[in-house]
Amino acid sequence: MNLTDLQALEQRYLMRTYKRAPVEFVRGEGALLWDGEGKEYLDFLGGISVCSVGHCNPDVVEAVREQAGRLMHTSNLFYTEPMVRLAERLSESSLGGRVFFSNSGTEANECAIKIARKHAHRRGISAPEIISFERDFHGRTYGSLSATPALAANPDMAPMLPGFRAVPFDDPEALRAAVGESTAAVLIEPIQGEAGIYPLGDETLLAARQACDESGALLVFDEIQTGIGRTGSLWAYEQTPVRPDLLTSAKALGGGMPIGACVTSPETSEVLEPGDHGSTFAGGPLASVAALAVLEIVDDAALLRGVREQGAKLRDALLALDGVGTVRGRGLMLGVGLDEGFEAAAVGADLLERGLIVNVPEPGTLRLLPPLTVDSDQIERAVATIAAALLSYAPQ
Amino acid sequence: MSKRPSEPRALTSGTAERLAAIVEAAEQAAAKVIDDAEEQARRQLSEASARADRIVAERLRVLADELDPPASSQREPHLRPVSAVPQSEAPAGPRSGSAGARLLATQMAVSGSSREEIAERLRRGFDIADTSEILDAILGPEE
């Protein structure tokens, strides 16, 4: 079956929710992908920050292969060792409380929203409110969607859940003013990902922490994109001056297997009780062994140092290019702001033609999320490809 | 007269081959012993290093807890009605800028950042010119 056949079947059978690039990938290894015609691509998107240990990482593959042959699913009515070991590892590496597993990032945020609302009700708040920032992206299920202002504004999807409010991004005063007696939580992306890689400033983070402490609200970090080593520490909050009460993880956690997690602090670990939440597949042994294999690779000082060093190298090289105005982000989560006149969408499409996969989250920005295991040669190759593309698309 | 078969030479040759094979096997076994010993030493070194990292991380986490006390110890009772929380009762100090800088430095140390990386982040994020006091408190004085 070739690409044309696939496109015909897609037109007939798949809902039209995605605009796909005209490429069929059939194989991956490390930072490389190959299409159906054998063409090689350098993947600097990593399945949108999922394949952080590279495509088909041998340790992850072996863990999944072995587990698949032994036990794939039992439900959460019984014990399985990988789930419990993964919960221990996630808790001990972050906030120290309990873990609820899910199948995706948006579900992880649903769990955080439930905890925040119940926590608020127990404090006597009848109409709890969750505050997020404009241009945040927290997911597409209704709770997470309601905390995602740009998508929540779509009238075709109305009504959203009540009890969500957005404040201007990185505005500490607006945040302080918004947090009050009815605030259940402040939900934060420490670095906005889908918006185009915009880090929150320290002042805003400190204001959020302080406002939450003063009101009794919970500070929730959505680390779905920033976590699992993406920014050069296992969790992005470790490079900020605050520590959240809850954090959510997904994407890279499973190395390609679907899994999400909501981790609490010890103080919030007793909020959810039996019957409050659940999921049939979540924490299953297959996804859990994959996540354990990922953490075994990523939770490593040398690898994380490499992420910071390679990220700095990539940033410096990009900033030296004609056509690049800014480079935002941390570690290997970078947003490349193009100079005025450059069409990022056209540049992105041209890069794909040249064998480099990036993403265009907004006009004027290229988003780079390469595997954390990317090597220096691959970084140089990516920079050279971007330089060539920018040269050919330079405004006249 | 029949010649004696050249058995002795064949025997000699066979013995030599067998000896060579034995020597080769012995060399391979010795090499394997050496490889195994080296592998074991590497593994032990790696495990010792990991243990040391865990001890350092645990101590730094304890330090982070001290800098950012659990909410339950700051707000008693934790799940109280918000109407009972006047602004003036907000915890003073622990979440201020300077405490934030110390927490940032500690969290970065836990995550494996170097002294230079932490110093740079403190200078950039908190405009702290002399970072040595914070860094010495967390990482110990520079050698």
Instruction: Quickly list DSSP for chain B.
Output: -PPPPSHHHHHHHHHHHHHHHHHHHHHHHHHHHHHHHHHHHHHHHHHHHHHHHHHHHHHHHHHHHHHS--HHHHSSSTT--GGG--GGGSPPSTTSHHHHHHHHHHHHHHTT--HHHHHHHHHHHH--S--HHHHHHHH----
Q: What is the pLDDT of residues B36-66, one digit of tens each?
A: 767 776 666 666 666 666 666 666 666 666 6
**Are the beta carbons of A104 and A271 closer than 8 angstroms?**
no
The minimal CB distance from B101 to the residues A209, A232, A241 is found for A241
CB proximity list for A267: less than 8 A, separation 6 or greater: A97, A245, B70, B71, B72, B78
A94 close to B (CB below 8 A): no
Q: Which of A47-61, A263-277, B76-90, B99-113 has the lowest mean pLDDT?
A: B76-90
**Are the beta carbons of A362 and A328 closer than 8 angstroms?**
no
- Classify A192 as helix, strand or coil: strand
pLDDT, position A383: 98
B50 close to A (CB below 8 A): no
Strand partners, A55: A30
pLDDT, position A358: 98
For chain B, what is the radius of gyration of the CA atoms? Answer: 34
Q: With an 8 Å Cβ cutoff, are A242 and B100 in contact? A: yes
SS3 content of chain A, % helix, strand, coil (to 5): 40, 20, 40
Partners of residue B104 in chain A, C-beta under 8 Å: 202, 239-241
pLDDT, position A209: 97
Partners of residue B74 in chain A, C-beta under 8 Å: 213
pLDDT, position B55: 62
Integer Cα distance of A174 and A152 in angstroms: 20
The minimal CB distance from B95 to the residues A122, A210, A304 is found for A210
| pLDDT band at residue B97 using 50, 70 and 90 as cut-offs | low
Mean pLDDT, residues B103-115: 92
**Are the beta carbons of A97 and A267 closer than 8 angstroms?**
yes
**pLDDT tens-place values along chain A, 396 residues long:** 999 999 999 999 999 999 999 999 999 999 999 999 999 999 999 999 999 999 999 999 999 999 999 999 999 999 999 999 999 999 999 999 999 999 999 999 999 999 999 999 999 999 999 999 999 999 999 999 999 999 999 999 999 999 999 999 999 999 999 999 999 999 999 999 999 999 999 999 999 999 999 999 999 999 999 999 999 999 999 999 999 999 999 999 999 999 999 999 999 999 999 999 999 999 999 999 999 999 999 999 999 999 999 999 999 999 999 999 999 999 999 999 999 999 999 999 999 999 999 999 999 999 999 999 999 999 999 999 999 999 998 776
Residue B77 in this model has a pLDDT that exceeds 60: no
Interface test with A, best of B58, B80, B104, B114 (most A CBs within 10 A): B104
H or E element in which residue A10 lies: helix A3-13
ipTM over 0.90: no
Chain A, window 209-248: residues with a beta carbon less than 8 angstroms from a chain B beta carbon: 209-210, 213-216, 232-235, 237-243, 245
pLDDT, position B44: 66
Token pair in block for residue B114: 């170097």
Structural domains of chain A ordered from first start = 3-57+301-392 (3.90.1150.10), 71-298 (3.40.640.10)
Chain A's closest residue to B122, CA to CA, is A241
Partners of residue A124 in chain B, C-beta under 8 Å: 81-83
pLDDT, position B45: 67
Integer Cα distance of A345 and A17 in angstroms: 19
Q: With an 8 Å Cβ cutoff, are B71 and A237 in contact? A: no
Pairing between β-strand A246-249 and β-strand A260-264 as defined by DSSP bridges: antiparallel
Q: How far is A239 from chain B (nearest CA, A)?
A: 6
pLDDT, position B88: 34
Helices and strands in chain A, H and E counts: 13, 17
Integer Cα distance of A28 and A20 in angstroms: 18
B132 φψ region: left (φ > 0), alpha (ψ -120 to 50), beta (else): alpha
| Residue A160 DSSP symbol | P
Q: With an 8 Å Cβ cutoff, are A305 and B114 in contact? A: yes
Integer Cα distance of B38 and A295 in angstroms: 27
Calculate ∠ Cα A281-A286-A291, nearest 5°.
100
| Helical axes B7-67 vs B97-110, angle rounded to 10° | 170
Interface test with B, best of A243, A269, A296, A308 (most B CBs within 10 A): A243
Per-residue buried b or exposed e for A330-355, using 16+ beta carbons within 10 Å of the residue's own CB: bbbbbbbbbeeebebeebbbbbbeeb
Question: Count of residues for chain B?
Answer: 143
Integer Cα distance of A76 and A83 in angstroms: 10
Phi, psi of A96, deg, nearest 5 = 85, 5
Residue B30 in this model has a pLDDT that exceeds 80: no
